[in-house]
Chain A
């Protein structure tokens, strides 16, 4: 069975997820061809175990992202089961290649086994499904759900010149909006409570939120007593949120607070009181003062 991985890059390096794609394929005992659009990361890819060969597809169209042009250029060298990261661009290219080849596509796979059998979450994670694929397909894999392949290989690299007409042009770049995310929209929320000591200390939470692309939330005590805006309040009389990760810092976990955040997928609590009720709902708890814990947490996050 043949596999083709389409590599995404981060500047000139391979995106870390490429190692995971190759790792997943190795796990089911197969080798894969890796396609590097515009040659980026090709020599790095050739060194990864489980790579049979690397094809760098060179063309003008890779200067800006146009899924249609990219997939046309890449498709010409794809073979067998095509594997891409379930990133926004990966999903788009994958869907287009599947349509071109008239093969099915399964997006956002979190487990794969020989057969090929894949599992993916559906209904925003409220259920999962396992599918058996018959014949060639495109599979996109969820980032960070698979183990990395290791280095230690010397796969051959070939170069194919293949471009395609861009159908779009970029007319204006717009800087990142400085406005912070709203708690109801964010995938990650960092909330502070009275344990933060004063409103000024929220700057520690804000800088961590910037690192993570998170929103900052607050307990009612902070909103009422320190005048934080009410839109930040999480809880029964504030916002009900269910992010993938909720980090509660210096929040005791009163029932009214829990009412607004207990359906978060993961909860990390930092509180110096081991008996704080917030720990009863936390997946991970750190019994420590935030003064001690936040700097370490932040530096660990920066390493990612």
Chain B
């Protein structure tokens, strides 16, 4: 079975984000990494491949720098690397179309990705790609296995978790998985270096992509400064504090 894993390169979660002239300064990002949930998708894809055979196709859409992440994926076992190269400003639906068309072309029967990427934190990609492919979509899964012709995945439910069965082309978006992520090794790294990255232009998969004018970025900013701390004597203000934590801070 061919397995597609959709990967996104994002600023490492430990990297500082700086703003200059109303935009996040990407040149100032000290380290780019594979988005954390995507790592679980990749790990799970590798495990599926070990059971079913076939090849694991790592797909990304983004600037040149993202190729490094594909090579990282190859170092742990990705067989085919596809880079969708498009310099235009894309909105989420355009990206999904490119990814979906690439998945289709690759002949993959199952698509794994992270539940959301650590930059936009959106979580639109998996469901959107599933929709375009007319595929099954199960979100926030922690594991996927295959039983005869069915995929069995585990996702959260109100009462804890539930096992979901699906068949046919399926998209799974990953939360933190239950498996330890595998480490690369030197052999994998040396093989990865030799692996070619296939570059796909939108035209080659029959898509005309225009600069999106449906969304205009007005500005990017640093988060608002927190207010200075407020210290209250005694317990009278606890209700007020709880309501602030909920309504202003939004943390409970």
In the complex, chain B residues whose CB is within 8 Å of the CB of A185: 176
B200 beta carbon closer than 8 Å to chain A = no
Using an 8 Å CB-CB cutoff, how does the interface string of A133-151 with B read, 1 for contact, 0 for none? 1110100001111000000
In the complex, chain B residues whose CB is within 8 Å of the CB of A123: 11, 17, 24, 118-119, 121
In the complex, chain A residues whose CB is within 8 Å of the CB of B252: 188, 212, 245, 301, 304
Q: Is the CB–CB distance between B127 and A279 below 8 Å?
A: no
Q: Is the CB–CB distance between A296 and B235 below 8 Å?
A: yes
Please classify how large the interface on chain B is, using the bins under 10, 10 to 19, 20 to 34, 35 or more.
Answer: 35 or more
- Chain A nearest CB, measured from B161 CB (Å): 4
- Chain B nearest CB, measured from A223 CB (Å): 25
Q: Which A residue sits closest to B232, measured CB to CB?
A: A286
In the complex, chain B residues whose CB is within 8 Å of the CB of A88: 115, 123, 139-140, 156
- Chain A nearest CB, measured from B119 CB (Å): 6
Interface residue tally for chain A (C-beta within 8 Å): 80
Picked from B96, B116, B231, the residue with its CB within 8 Å of the CB of A285 is: B231
Most buried by B among A91, A123, A280: A123
- Chain A nearest CB, measured from B238 CB (Å): 5
Q: Is the CB–CB distance between A168 and B218 below 8 Å?
A: no
Using an 8 Å CB-CB cutoff, how does the interface string of B128-139 with A read, 1 for contact, 0 for none? 111110011111
- Chain A nearest CB, measured from B53 CB (Å): 25
- In chain A, residues 148-193, which have Cβ atoms closer than 8 Å to a Cβ of chain B? 167-177, 185, 187-188
> At the interface with chain A, which of B58-66, B179-187, B203-211, B239-247?
B239-247
Q: Is the CB–CB distance between A284 and B241 below 8 Å?
A: yes
Q: Is the CB–CB distance between A129 and B212 below 8 Å?
A: no
Picked from B135, B231, B247, the residue with its CB within 8 Å of the CB of A287 is: B231
- Cα–Cα distance between A163 and B176 once the two chains are bound (Å): 32
- Cα–Cα distance between A171 and B93 once the two chains are bound (Å): 32
Q: Is the CB–CB distance between B229 and A274 below 8 Å?
A: no
A255 beta carbon closer than 8 Å to chain B = no
Q: Which A residue sits closest to B16, measured CB to CB?
A: A126
Using A99-B127, A104-B212, A131-B217 as known contacts, say yes or no to A168 and B96 having CB atoms under 8 A apart.
Answer: no
Using A125-B223, A144-B247, A286-B238 as known contacts, say yes or no to A71 and B131 having CB atoms under 8 A apart.
Answer: yes
> At the interface with chain B, which of A27-35, A105-113, A231-239?
A105-113
Q: Is the CB–CB distance between B245 and A104 below 8 Å?
A: no
Q: Is the CB–CB distance between B220 and A132 below 8 Å?
A: no
Using A121-B223, A128-B221, A142-B250 as known contacts, say yes or no to A108 and B212 having CB atoms under 8 A apart.
Answer: no
Using A88-B139, A167-B136, A301-B252 as known contacts, say yes or no to A108 and B220 having CB atoms under 8 A apart.
Answer: no
Picked from A103, A108, A130, A265, the residue with its CB within 8 Å of the CB of B122 is: A108
B219 beta carbon closer than 8 Å to chain A = yes
In the complex, chain B residues whose CB is within 8 Å of the CB of A292: 234-235
In the complex, chain B residues whose CB is within 8 Å of the CB of A134: 213-216
Q: Is the CB–CB distance between B242 and A68 below 8 Å?
A: no
B154 beta carbon closer than 8 Å to chain A = yes
Q: Is the CB–CB distance between A274 and B233 below 8 Å?
A: yes
- Cα–Cα distance between A174 and B163 once the two chains are bound (Å): 8
Q: Is the CB–CB distance between A99 and B137 below 8 Å?
A: no
- Chain A nearest CB, measured from B252 CB (Å): 6
Q: Is the CB–CB distance between A287 and B233 below 8 Å?
A: yes
- Chain A nearest CB, measured from B86 CB (Å): 16
Which residues of A are in contact with B by a Cβ distance under 8 Å? 67-68, 71, 88, 91-96, 98-100, 102-108, 117, 121-135, 137, 142-145, 167-177, 185, 187-188, 212, 244-245, 265-268, 274, 279-288, 292-293, 296-297, 300-301, 304
